[in-house]
Structure 1
Amino acid sequence: MAKHITDPMMTGFRLEDLISENGVTFELGDEFREDDDDEEFSYSPYVQFSNEEMLNMLNMNGFEDENDRDNEKGSVSLYGMSFAKLRAKMTNLTADNKVMKFIKQKGVGEVVPANAQVTIHYIGYFEDRDEPFDSTYSSGKPKTIRLNQGYIIPGLEIGLSTMQKHEIAVFLIHPDLAYKAQGCPPRIPPNEEVVFVVHLVDYLDDGSADTYQNLKIEEKKSFKHVVEPVLHMLVAAKDCCAKFNTKQAIRKYKKIIDCLENVQLIDSLEEKEMNELLSKAYTNLAICYNKIELPRNACMACRRVPVPTVKTLYHFGKALLNLGEYTEAMKELQKAHALQPHNENITQAIQTTNAKQRQYLEIEKRLWKNCFKSGEKQTKVNEFRKVMREFCETIINDSYVKILCIPEGLTEEELQIVREEAATLGLNVVTSTRYGKKTMYLQKRKT
Structure 2
Amino acid sequence: MGGSAGIPGAAEGGVVPSQSPYQRLSHRMLDVSGDRGVLKDVLREGSGGLVTPDASVLVKYSGYLEHMDKPFDSNCFRKTPRLMKLGEDITLWGMELGLLSMRKGELARFLFKPTYAYGTLGCPPLIPPNTTVLFEIELLDFLDSAESDKFCALSAEQQDQFPLQKVLKVAATEREFGNYLFRQNRFCDAKVRYKRALLLLHRRSAALEEQHLVEAAKLLVLLNLSFTYLKLERPTMALRYGEQALIIDEKNAKALFRCGQACLRMTEYQKARDFLVRAQKEQPFNHDINNELKKLASYYRDYVDKEREMCHRMFAPGDNDSTEGD
Task: Tell me if structure 2 keeps the 8 A contact 1:108–1:166.
Answer: yes
Once the two structures are superposed, residues 7-34 of structure 1 have per-residue CA deviations (whole angstroms, 9 ceiling, x without a partner) of xxxxxxxxxxxxxxxxxxxxxxxxxxxx
Alignment equivalent of 2:293, drawn from 332, 345, 350: 350
Alignment equivalent of 1:225, drawn from 157, 160, 166: 166
| 297-306 or 323-332, larger mean C-alpha shift | 297-306
What TM-score, normalized to structure 1? 0.50
Task: Give 1:194-343 correspondences, 5 Å limit.
Answer: 197-207=134-144, 209-215=145-151, 216-217=154-155, 218-221=157-160, 223-261=164-202, 263-305=203-245, 306-308=247-249, 309-343=252-286
What TM-score, normalized to structure 2? 0.65
Q: CA deviation at 1:93?
A: 5.4
Structure 1 alignment gaps of length 5 or more: 1-55, 70-75, 124-135, 179-185, 188-193, 382-447
Question: 1:159–1:358: structure 2 CA closer, same or farther, 3 Å change rule?
Answer: closer
Q: CA deviation at 1:325?
A: 0.9
Once the two structures are superposed, residues 227-277 of structure 1 have per-residue CA deviations (whole angstroms, 9 ceiling, x without a partner) of 10221232333334445554443343233223333x231323444322222
CA distance in 1, matches of 2:183, 2:138: 15
Task: Tell me if structure 2 keeps the 8 A contact 1:90–1:101.
Answer: yes
Secondary structure of the 1:66 match is: coil
CA distance in 1, matches of 2:110, 2:31: 13
Task: Tell me if structure 2 keeps the 8 A contact 1:87–1:172.
Answer: no
CA distance in 2, matches of 1:295, 1:88: 58
Once the two structures are superposed, residues 337-383 of structure 1 have per-residue CA deviations (whole angstroms, 9 ceiling, x without a partner) of 232334343234334323432442343244334425xx64x2599xx
Question: 1:256–1:210: structure 2 CA closer, same or farther, 3 Å change rule?
Answer: farther
Task: Tell me if structure 2 keeps the 8 A contact 1:107–1:165.
Answer: yes
Q: CA deviation at 1:310?
A: 0.7
Question: 1:236–1:213: structure 2 CA closer, same or farther, 3 Å change rule?
Answer: closer
Match status 1:68 vs 2:18: yes
Once the two structures are superposed, residues 26-74 of structure 1 have per-residue CA deviations (whole angstroms, 9 ceiling, x without a partner) of xxxxxxxxxxxxxxxxxxxxxxxxxxxxxx98535548942237xxxxx
Match status 1:59 vs 2:2: no
- AA at the equivalent of 1:235: E
Q: CA deviation at 1:88?
A: 4.7
Task: Tell me if structure 2 keeps the 8 A contact 1:100–1:171.
Answer: yes
Task: Give 1:110-259 correspondences, 5 Å limit.
Answer: 110=47, 113-115=50-52, 117-119=57-59, 140=75, 144-146=83-85, 157=97, 160-162=100-102, 165-170=106-111, 197-207=134-144, 209-215=145-151, 216-217=154-155, 218-221=157-160, 223-259=164-200
Structure 2 alignment gaps of length 5 or more: 64-70, 123-130, 322-326
Task: Tell me if structure 2 keeps the 8 A contact 1:289–1:298.
Answer: yes
CA distance in 2, matches of 1:213, 1:370: 61
Task: Tell me if structure 1 keeps the 8 A contact 2:171–2:197.
Answer: yes
CA distance in 2, matches of 1:198, 1:232: 29
Q: CA deviation at 1:283?
A: 1.3
CA distance in 2, matches of 1:91, 1:362: 71
Find the counterpart in structure 1 of residue 126 from structure 2. none
Question: 1:63–1:347: structure 2 CA closer, same or farther, 3 Å change rule?
Answer: closer
Task: Tell me if structure 2 keeps the 8 A contact 1:237–1:252.
Answer: yes
Match status 1:363 vs 2:306: yes
Question: 1:220–1:107: structure 2 CA closer, same or farther, 3 Å change rule?
Answer: same
Question: 1:380–1:166: structure 2 CA closer, same or farther, 3 Å change rule?
Answer: farther
CA distance in 1, matches of 2:283, 2:174: 29
| 212-221 or 307-316, larger mean C-alpha shift | 212-221
Aligned residues: 287
